[in-house]
Amino acid sequence: MTRSVLVTGGNRGIGLAIARELAAAGDAVAVTCRSDQAPDGLFGVKCDVTKTQDVDNAFAKVEAEQGPVEVLVSNAGITRDKLLPMMREEDFEAVLDTNLTGAYRVAKRAARNMIRARAGRIIFVSSVVAFTGQSGQANYAASKSGLVGLARSLARELSPRNITVNVVAPGFVDTDMTAGLSDQIKAAARDRIPLGRTASPEEVAGVVRFLAGPDAGYVTGTVIPVDGGLAMGL
């Protein structure tokens, strides 16, 4: 059955891998982009998740193109890493606004139709640092652990309407977000990962496909780490 899927930040990185994975599984997949450049073969809607009006317009376009969103993957995210003394309030707020409030905005808009339909899947892309913390990432880690509370609260609210809400928590994934890190930091990260390597975006996408698919109908309010064992035992 073809479902209407929306992936925020689906124009590149992990979001693009998720969008391609779900499209390959037969879904109609739309992605948000901040530029006019949608990836080949996917329906792109211009949207900055920090702007409520953008979110509303994007959903309206997706609804017109492929029907109300049945599967939402809230993936858009940014980092603004700085140690606390150097972290300006605007660095903190920008990361929270995109990663956490942005997720609230899209979930709220998606839930409107899902509640009516009495069905839906919402998946938030968090991070291993939600649980471990990370020096220099107080803003990012706060936003990513906030997603867990958001997801679990929504899972409770929306379960009576047959809507599941879950989180994936990737570890170190090879995308633009991590490309700028020094070789030294990358090597140190790899040393701490039990599986001894970083992840491809496709490895995260496979877990999202499971959460979006028929085998996960009884899975809600959970966090699935996709981190090579990095947060194991914490």
CB of 95 to ligand NDP, least distance (A): 9
CB of 49 to ligand NDP, least distance (A): 4
Closer to ligand NDP by Cβ: residue 47 or 62:
47
Distance CA 208, CA 7 (A): 11
Say which residues have a Cβ less than 8 Å from residue 4's Cβ, sequence separation at least 6: 27, 28, 30, 62, 63, 66, 67, 68, 69, 70, 71
Closer to ligand NDP by Cβ: residue 177 or 214:
177
Backbone angles phi, psi at 80, to 5 degrees: -145, 75
Closer to ligand NDP by Cβ: residue 52 or 178:
178
Query: Residues 115, 159: contact at Cβ < 8 Å?
Result: no
CB of 218 to ligand NDP, least distance (A): 26
Cα 234–chain centre separation? 22
The site for ligand NDP (CB under 6 A) is made up of 8-9, 11-15, 32-34, 47-50, 75-78, 98, 102, 125, 127, 170, 172-173, 175-178
Best CA proximity match to 167, nearest among 137, 204, 136, 119: 204
Q: Which of 43, 92, 131, 140 is catalytic?
A: 140
Distance CA 5, CA 212 (A): 9
Catalytic residue status for 140: yes
CB of 18 to ligand NDP, least distance (A): 9
Closer to ligand NDP by Cβ: residue 60 or 116:
60
Which sequence positions are flagged as catalytic? Answer: 140
